[in-house]
Amino acid sequence: MRLGTALVFATIAAFSAACGSGGSSPAAPPTPAPAAATTTAAANPPASSSQARIEVTPNPATGANVTISWDTGGGDGSVYVKQDQAEEKLFAHAPKGTQEATWIQPKSTYEFRLYAGTDHSAAPIATVQVRRQQ
């Protein structure tokens, strides 16, 4: 029972300290500080399709290796690739970059699609197709 009594007194003491002594009304709650702006939004504004670009070199492909270069024009981006009628697959995730694809096969068409951010359910902001020469 001593522990319970001590806990009650500690709670009363804490409440009295927070509200002040002698029956005065409790202090107003502190005003919350304004929310800090996220640097991600400031550093990476939304991508603009007018500034976005994606390129494949060489195009048409002369062998199995090609280089894909992209730039969202600002903001986060993802590059997906679709071979013929297959589902598209994530190829790269970055606002801009260059990456090699070493698996370009003859008789297939590859479409590289650049999306703003990570959501690829919306329309791509830039696309390019490549085929390997026979």
Interval 104-133 mean pLDDT: 92
pLDDT of residue 49: 54
Alpha carbon distances (Å) from 91 to 37, 117, 118: 31, 14, 12
CA separation for the pair 94, 87 (Å, rounded): 21
pLDDT of residue 85: 93
pLDDT of residue 118: 85
Q: In sequence order, which residues have a C-beta less than 8 Å from that of residue 88 and are 6 or more positions away?
A: 80, 81, 82, 111, 113, 120
Q: Which helix (H) or strand (E) holds 68?
A: strand 66-71
Give the burial class of 115: count Cβ atoms within 10 A of its Cβ; 0-12 exposed, 13-18 middle, 19 or more buried. buried
The predicted-structure confidence for 37-79, as pLDDT tens digits, reads as follows: 222 222 344 444 568 999 999 999 999 999 999 999 988 999 9
The predicted-structure confidence for 1-22, as pLDDT tens digits, reads as follows: 444 433 334 334 433 444 444 4
Class of domain 45-131: mainly beta
pTM listed for this prediction:
0.63
